[in-house]
Each structure stands twice: as structure tokens, then as C-alpha cells.
Structure 1
Amino acid sequence: MAKMGYVALALVAIFCIVHVQGLSDDVEAAWEQFQAHHPSSTKSHTDAAKRKGNFVKTHEMIQQHNKNKNAAYQLEHNDFSVMDDEEKKRYTGAKAPSGSRFLIADNLDASMRQLPTSLDYRTNACLAPVKNQGSCGSCWAFTAIAPLEFAQCNKTKTSVVLSEQQLVDCDPNDGGCNGGWYTNAWSYLMGGSAKQSAYSYTAVKGTCKFSTSTIGSTVATYGSVASKSPSSMQAALVRYGPLSVAITVINSFYSYKSGVYTDVACDNLGVNHGVVVVGYGNLSGIDYWIVRNSWGAGWGSSGYILIQRGVNKCSIESYPAAIASVV
């Protein structure tokens, strides 16, 4: 009996060694592949061991999640896979202000009675291509500019691309790469928003170079949409176009690939990132918002993510706001 026990223990030990070796081989293969496809994220850094360690943690998270057949969304490796938490934070930057907010309420009730079952502005000629904020906490600026570009184009029927860098350099209400808020930015942009061609993005705060001769649009009126009211957000999307919102970004969000994002870990936490809602729909029975991010077209689904709608997922329905009119 003792011999049988030893044999059983030996077999278990061998199985564990083989299993661990298999996992190790899988990680090594994934790491080699990642380095080949993301050379700027790996080879140019002296802290290679640390970055590989970050990759291994991310890889384990992705593998564990994607094995779940009931998962509504899938994860993948991207440039964030080798970053630590402090590096990732530089790609967010929403800082919610305290105090009351002006509420847009005109005619939204009427719009609610005739809401389309789905809406998607991603292919609308007035929505500029997805941009990339880089490692500057300026998401708030990108969240402010996209709806303004849309509103201006919608009024004049001519597309326009505006400057986030002007906000980073010049807006006294916000903190440049240290964070800010989209309605604060709109308050400043009542003095005019420069065209991007005249004021290009650098991802660092510099000296303000704004000139009124470069204005491409000017905010006239803006306000908040009712908080935690998905139908009000839908009505505002129909009436005004893309909405600025704030969300809570956690680790799984950085690795999003496809599907409807439903991670419960982001709920009931403070918001830290500004994004833009550009539509809504339903996938496999799950209602979603179509959300435009500012991490480039290589992230997520061509720069977009679908986030569960109607449950205030990641606080997305807490701080919606819209530009009502432009000059």
C-alpha cells in the first residue's frame, strides 16, 4: 500500500511539472510573438524583466478570462500588456468637479417617445477618425473635442478636425496632462476652438499659442443630460449627437478586444477616464453603448468598445453631457 501511495504521489508530481512546463512554454511563445508585433513597447526599454513580468500577469488574466465560454467580451494583448499601473494611469485623466451642473432638458421627452432601436455614428461623415492621447492624461480634452467636431459639422455640413492641444496648453480650468473635465473645457471653448491643422497635438503641456484666426468652431450652449437615465442619454444622442461621459477604467478594460464589456469590478468606483458615446444597440441579448476611446484605432475594436447599457456599467451613465449648439 505504501508503494502504491508513493507511485501516486510521483505521478501527481510529474503531472504538475509537465503542466507548469506547458504553461511556461505558452507564456514564452506568447511573449516572443508580442515582442515581434510590439517592438516599441519592449525592446527599447532597459527594464526588460519588469516589462516581461507585467506581460505574464496580463497574459494569465487574458487566458483565464477568454476560457470562460459565458463571457460576453474577449480580451487581447496590446501595448498596455507590459505597462504597470502607474504607466496605465497616464492614459486616463478624468477628474470630476464638485458642484451643480446645468441640465439640458428641452424636448428630450418628445425624443424619448420615438427612439430608434439602435444608433451608430461611427460611420457618420461628421465624426472625425479616432485619435490617440498618448501617455498624457488629456482624455478630458479628447472627450470634449469629438462632440464639438460633430456639432460643427452637423451645422455647416463640412467636416472639421479641432485641436485637443489647445485645451492642454491653454485651458485655465483644467490641468493639461494632469487631468480635467469635458464641461470645463466647453466653458473655455466658448472663446473658440482652433483647428488641429493650426495647433497640432504633442501629448505634453506647452505654452499657449492659440490665435482667434485659427478658430474652427465655438461652443454656444452645452449642459448635462439626466444622470443614470439611459433613455435620456439615448434621446440626447438622437437630438444632439455624440455624448461626453466619464467611466471607471480597470485592468481588464485596457485589454478589451470585442463583445459587450460587462466586468462588474468597475462598478461603484470613482471615475477616472473620459470617453464619448456614439451610439447604442443590442448584441446577443445584451444592451450596449458604442463608446469611442482616445487610445488610437489599434486599441479595442478599431478604437471603440461596447459597454453594457442600462446598468450604469463603470459609471458610464453618471455624468453624460452634450453640446446643444455651436456658433
Structure 2
Amino acid sequence: MQHLLSCNSRNQRGCDGGYTDRAYWFLRKRGVVSDECYPLKSGQSEDTSMDKLTCELGYLQSYPCPNGDVTSELQRSSPPYRIGMNQEEIMLEIMRNGPVQATFQVKDDFFSYVTGVYQYSGSDGSEIEGFHSVRILGWGKEISEDGTELPYWLCANSWGTDWGEDGYFRIRRGKNECEIESFVVGVWGQVDAGMHEP
């Protein structure tokens, strides 16, 4: 993650929303090292000495980690591909290839989410704060006290472990809640480096 953010030098907006297409281009063409190799600084450090070097390494196969103790292989990805809005297609993709990325509408009450299956509390849908991208990791059903089933997606957010359910949240599945099922993409990791020559 830090490797990708450190190379945010051409108005990609980074932590201010960012552009997913540019992030995927970087993953496919340049690659990133592991979080262990280049830990997330998250604004905690003003040291940017490794940032320029990291981005200038370009198309190498491995990268010397900032701590100098190890070298990390650069991990690359395939181009992203769109997955249909049908919940069964999304579930099949997760089963076959792992988590997917979803972009959804953030409504005003989402910021105060703590636990449970999220559903927008308003009725007119006019309180849109913007769009946000998260990972859908899996799915399940919550059973209420009256026996009603509430299907949900299990998602990982990027707002830290103090938010939601230790950084995760559940959102209603199968009803395109906040358009969570409208724009879902998958990507294959660790693709043969031969596919990524400039």
C-alpha cells in the first residue's frame, strides 16, 4: 500500500479518493513490494527518502526494502475486469479468485456505522456524500430475533480498525444497496512478469 501511495506523484489523488484505473495501471506495469518490506506510514513520518527511489526503480523484478535487511519481489497484477451485477457472479468470482473491489455510494449515515448489516436509513436517497472503493471479501446471512434472514456482503474498509467492526463492515446483499453491486472488478495477482514488459 505505501509503495503505491508513495508513487502518487501525478495528481492521482492518493488518499483523497484516488483513481482506481491509475492504481491498477501501476500494479500491472510497475508492481509493488510487500507491506512488510515497505510498511504503511499513513502520515506518521515525514521521511520521504525512499519514495523517489521506489518510483524510479520502474520495471525491475525485485526491490531493496527500506530497512535494508531484505529484498522483496515486485508483485504485479493482470488488468482489472468487470464482474456482472448479479450477486451469484460476484460470489463465484470471490470463490474462484479471491476478494473483489467494489465502488459504492457513501451516504451520510455510513460514517457512523458501528456494527450489524448496513442499510441506508433514509428514504429518498438524496444524502450522497460521494463514492468510495472497498474490498468485498465474502458473504453471509444474519438471522434476526424473529427468524428473518438478512443477506450481506462482508467488506474491508480503509478507515482503520477503530471504525466499524475492526475496520470491516457488512452491507445488505442482493438489493444493490448504495449501488455496491453496480461496479465490481476483479484482478489476478502475481501474473507472469513477462506479461508486463513496457
What TM-score do you get using the length of structure 2 for normalisation? 0.71
Tell me the equivalent position of 2:154. Answer: 290
2:76 and 2:189 in contact (8 A); partners too:
no
Tell me the equivalent position of 1:229. Answer: 86
1:278 and 1:289 in contact (8 A); partners too:
yes
Tell me the equivalent position of 1:188. Answer: 26
How much does 1:178 deviate? 3.0
Matches within 5 A, 1:198-237: 198-204=37-43, 207-210=51-54, 211=57, 212=60, 213-214=62-63, 215-226=73-84, 228-237=85-94
Tell me the equivalent position of 1:279. Answer: 138
How much does 1:179 deviate? 2.4
C-alpha distance in 2, partners of 1:186/1:219? 8
For residue 2 of structure 2, the aligned residue among 154, 162, 165 is 165
Question: What amino acid does structure 2 have at the position aligned with 1:302?
Answer: D
Change (3 A) 1:239 1:258: same
Rg (Cα) greater in structure? 1
Identity %: 28
2:82 and 2:184 in contact (8 A); partners too:
yes
How much does 1:306 deviate? 0.7
Question: What amino acid does structure 2 have at the position aligned with 1:323?
Answer: V
Change (3 A) 1:231 1:183: farther
C-alpha distance in 1, partners of 2:83/2:41? 32
Secondary structure, aligned partner of 2:117: strand
Farther-moved stretch of structure 1 (247-256 vs 315-324): 247-256
Aligned residues: 163
C-alpha distance in 2, partners of 1:177/1:186? 15
Q: Which has the higher contact order (CA 8 A, sep 6+)?
A: 2
Tell me the equivalent position of 2:181. Answer: 317
Deviations 1:199-247 (A, max 9, x none): 3323359653314432441113431112x22121111111111011112
Secondary structure, aligned partner of 2:114: strand
Q: Which has the higher helix share?
A: 1
Secondary structure, aligned partner of 2:134: strand
Deviations 1:82-104 (A, max 9, x none): xxxxxxxxxxxxxxxxxxxxxxx
Secondary structure, aligned partner of 1:244: strand
Q: Does 1:175 align with 2:19?
A: no
For residue 36 of structure 2, the aligned residue among 173, 197, 218 is 197
Deviations 1:272-314 (A, max 9, x none): 2111100011112111100111122222112111100111111
C-alpha distance in 1, partners of 2:88/2:6? 36
C-alpha distance in 2, partners of 1:320/1:195? 24
C-alpha distance in 1, partners of 2:32/2:125? 34
How much does 1:197 deviate? 3.1
C-alpha distance in 2, partners of 1:217/1:174? 20
Question: What amino acid does structure 1 have at the position aligned with 2:5?
Answer: V
Change (3 A) 1:324 1:271: farther
Change (3 A) 1:267 1:319: farther
Question: What amino acid does structure 2 have at the position aligned with 1:198?
Answer: C
What TM-score do you get using the length of structure 1 for normalisation? 0.45
Question: What amino acid does structure 1 have at the position aligned with 2:14?
Answer: G
Matches within 5 A, 1:124-139: none
Question: What amino acid does structure 2 have at the position aligned with 1:280?
Answer: W
Tell me the equivalent position of 2:119. Answer: 262
Name the Cα RMSD after superposition: 2.5
Unaligned runs of 5+ in 2: 64-72, 144-148, 192-198
1:244 and 1:275 in contact (8 A); partners too:
yes
